[in-house]
Amino acid sequence: MPVYQYRARNATGGLISGAVEAATLDAAAGQLLSQGVTPIDIKRGEEKSGRRSSGADLSPAARRAAAARSRNKEQSPMENLNDLLQRKKIDINELIIFSRQMQSLTRAGMPLDRALAGLQASVKNPKFKELLHNVQRGLESGQNLSTSLGQYPKVFSPLFLSLVDVGENTGRLDLAFEQIRRYLELEKNTRKQVKSATRYPAFVLATMAVALAIITYFVIPAFSETFTRLGAELPLETRILIGISDFVVRWWQFLIGGTIALFVAFRTWVGSRAGRLAWDEIKMRLPLAGGIYERIALSRFARTFAMVMKAGVPIVHGMGVVAGAVGNKFVARRVLRMREGISRGESLYNTAVAADMFSPLVLQMIAVGEESGMVDQLLEEVAEFYDAEVEYDLKRLGEVIEPILIMFIAGMVLVLALGVFLPIWDLSSAVNN
């Protein structure tokens, strides 16, 4: 019976190696999993005969080098340019697919290096393919999966890495990737709802801005020349519009430059630590949309906290993971204060009350969950409660914004009518008389 050399992680996360006899590679992986060991790399033992080494007998580094040379020979310069142009940011959809595939492969007992090698062939994003290749190299060098993925903090969140780490230590990576997939799908749904609710207002406002720019720069100057030639006395509204138009026509370069400078300054400020904290607090106090931002952050808190507790992450460490997953620095700072209170020995309920983030109903559910030892289940219900409120508020937001936009458009039309068409009507009346 063939002998397979393996490297794997035991139940405590330690790196072990050895040999196992099995009919096939998959059978060898199944034997290791039944022993509570998570295989990282499995390969067939070297043949005792002195035949010349084939590609299958090469070391992993040699196989990678040969594969790279083969790809370079096969691809033309145009194909290489196409691959470069296709590089894009790794989005949430690709992470969902990756989590679903890893869940299936780890549940089937596939070794991690073989699973990643197979995924590279199915990934279309060259940037993500390169990432998976580097992660595979990390596994072959003796790193665990969470450490290899942790080299890409902009792609994999602290929550993602923590769940993978717990899955490796418990030998249940399939459950870890299942939890990650569910979380990412819920997060995608929330983003989709927010974009759907804000798409119509943003489109209307952008269209109105373009229309105002065209009217101010092209239309009003034409009417201004006509009024000047006729020498008519213009009403106050018309004089204001002509003054604004003359200012825009004369200084449009500085207006565009100032707008770009303000945008860049705002982005820089938001990118700073203090600016991001202040902006996240301001967002939660905006009229109409502020409550939605707050409930989205609290929903992420409840769902993430439930996941890390269910996964067995220590509560103090889990609070740090939760703070990085809520997506709001203002809420994250309060979560970290809760962690400090818990590390001092305070109860979860008392720290939640001191954080001043939750409604009395949610606080009551946390208290009941803490007393019954079912905090994770009740926090999932809290997350569902906030998700339902967010969905309702987003639908209501569209209903509230629509009449406001209609009134704004009506006001713009009224101002243009009074400022542009009223003098024309006055001139027509004077000519007829």
Q: What is the pLDDT at residue 426?
A: 65
Q: What is the pLDDT of residues 317-372, one digit of tens each?
A: 888 888 888 888 998 899 899 989 988 888 888 998 988 888 888 888 888 888 88
Q: What is the pLDDT at residue 1?
A: 66
pTM exceeds 0.95: no
Q: What CATH architecture does domain 172-433 belong to?
A: Up-down Bundle (1.20)
Q: What is the pLDDT at residue 58?
A: 42
**Structural tokens at position 250:** 């004369």
Rounded alpha-carbon distances, angstroms, from residue 381 to 175, 276, 326, 354, 372: 20, 30, 17, 21, 15
Specify the DSSP element, H or E, that contains 219. none
Edge-to-edge strands, sheet with 3-9: 15-21, 3-9, 38-44
Segment 197-202 long-range contacts (CB within 8 Å, at least 24 positions apart): 197/394, 197/395, 197/397, 197/398, 200/398, 200/401, 200/402, 201/398, 201/401, 201/405
For residues 151 and 312, what is the distance between their CA atoms, to the nearest angstrom?
A: 23
Write out the chain's pLDDT in tens, 433 residues.
678 888 877 766 677 888 887 767 766 776 777 677 777 777 777 543 433 333 444 444 444 444 444 444 444 555 555 555 455 688 889 999 999 999 888 888 888 888 888 888 888 888 999 999 999 998 888 888 988 998 998 899 888 888 888 888 777 888 889 989 988 998 898 888 888 888 888 888 888 888 888 888 888 888 788 777 776 677 787 888 888 889 999 999 999 999 999 999 999 999 898 999 999 999 888 888 888 888 888 888 888 888 888 877 788 888 888 888 888 899 889 989 998 998 888 888 899 898 888 888 888 888 888 888 888 888 888 888 888 888 888 888 878 888 888 888 888 888 877 777 777 776 665 555 4
Rounded alpha-carbon distances, angstroms, from residue 200 to 227, 318, 360, 401, 407: 38, 38, 35, 9, 15
Q: What is the DSSP letter of 52?
A: P
Q: What is the pLDDT at residue 173?
A: 87
Domain locations in the chain?
A: 3-44, 80-156, 172-433
Q: What is the pLDDT of residues 92-120, one digit of tens each?
A: 899 999 999 998 888 888 888 888 888 88
**Structural tokens at position 205:** 């406002």
Q: Which residues pair with 9 in a beta bridge?
A: 15, 38
